[in-house]
Amino acid sequence: MRIFIEQSEQAVAQRAAGLIFENLANTDGPFGVATGSTPTPIYEQLSQLELSPSMKLFALDEYFQIDPNHPSSFRQTLIRELVRPCGFSEDNLHLPPASADESEIEKFEVLLNELGPVKIQLLGIGSNGHVAFNEPGSELESTTRKVKLHQTTIVDNQRHFQGEMPRFAVTQGIATIMRSEALLLVARGKHKAKALASMFGVGDLTPASHLAKHPNLIIVADSDAAALIESKSKS
Ligand code: PGA
């Protein structure tokens, strides 16, 4: 595991974008992408760097039964924040289906296997320790599936959503995420400190705790998010 602790939002974004670039330069990915307030400044930085216009992109999750043209769908968010600014193609952006249709979900997992493994997977972390929409209680063996959102997630994400937040989503599972060659987890803010510490065996186990088993895990955090792990990261 490698840990970088940075002092500002911009420094976090620059560090994360630099690490993504190192893993993706001169390749077509796949790049595993995330949504939320954490990735936004990282994508701004990435748009300044020269990545292949043929980059393949796999998203972690999508809201259940959302219209793909809804401005708060993860498809539209990624097109706006990442695909267009970086000069990628919408045809290369793959998201889990917004349905519980088993054959559609299976198709997504198969495509991810065929085009994968993901070279680097960007991840945020929920204040409850969720990764993608793997909410507390999610198992290490979980794969892509429909999930019910935790109340904390609904409250945390409402600010990003135009209209009433959906109650369900379809998310890559923890086993799906663990197949990536590298994981880059980024955390900012005091409200993430407990969740981040759960990856180091401090406090309750969370879905993020499972990721500590990955052989190539990189964490980038600001000092607020790293408040409960600083002694560990120096050792
Ligand atoms: P945030 O969400 O980046 O908006 O804090 C992170 C997450 O829920 O994974």
Residue nearest ligand 1's atom 8 by CA: 126
Check residues 230 and 107 and name the one with the higher pLDDT.
Answer: 107
User: Would you call 204 a catalytic residue per the annotation?
Assistant: no
User: Would you call 210 a catalytic residue per the annotation?
Assistant: no
Smallest Cα–Cα separation from 154: which of 133, 178, 184?
Answer: 133
This prediction has a pTM of: 0.96
Q: Which atom, in ligand 1's list, is nearest to the CA of 189?
A: 5
DSSP string, 93-116: EE---SS--HHHHHHHHHHHHHH-
Q: Ligand 1 mean position to 55 CA, how many Å? A: 24
Q: Ligand 1 mean position to 159 CA, how many Å? A: 11
H or E element in which residue 146 lies = strand 145-148
- The catalytically annotated residue of 6, 135, 156, 222 is 135
Please say if the pLDDT value at position 44 is more than 80. yes
Q: Which atom, in ligand 1's list, is nearest to the CA of 132?
A: 9
By three-state DSSP, how is residue 149 classified? coil
Q: Ligand 1 mean position to 38 CA, how many Å? A: 6
Task: Examine residue 117 and say whether the peptide bond preceding it is cis (omega within 30 degrees of 0).
Answer: yes
| pLDDT tens-digit map of 179-194 | 999 999 999 999 999 9
For ligand 1, residues with CB inside 6 Å are 36-38, 124-126
Q: Ligand 1 mean position to 109 CA, how many Å? A: 23
User: Would you call 135 a catalytic residue per the annotation?
Assistant: yes
Q: What is the pLDDT of residue 234?
A: 54
**pLDDT averaged over the chain?**
96
Q: What is the pLDDT of residue 235?
A: 43
Determine the Cα–Cα distance for residues 63 and 171; give it in Å rounded to an integer. 8
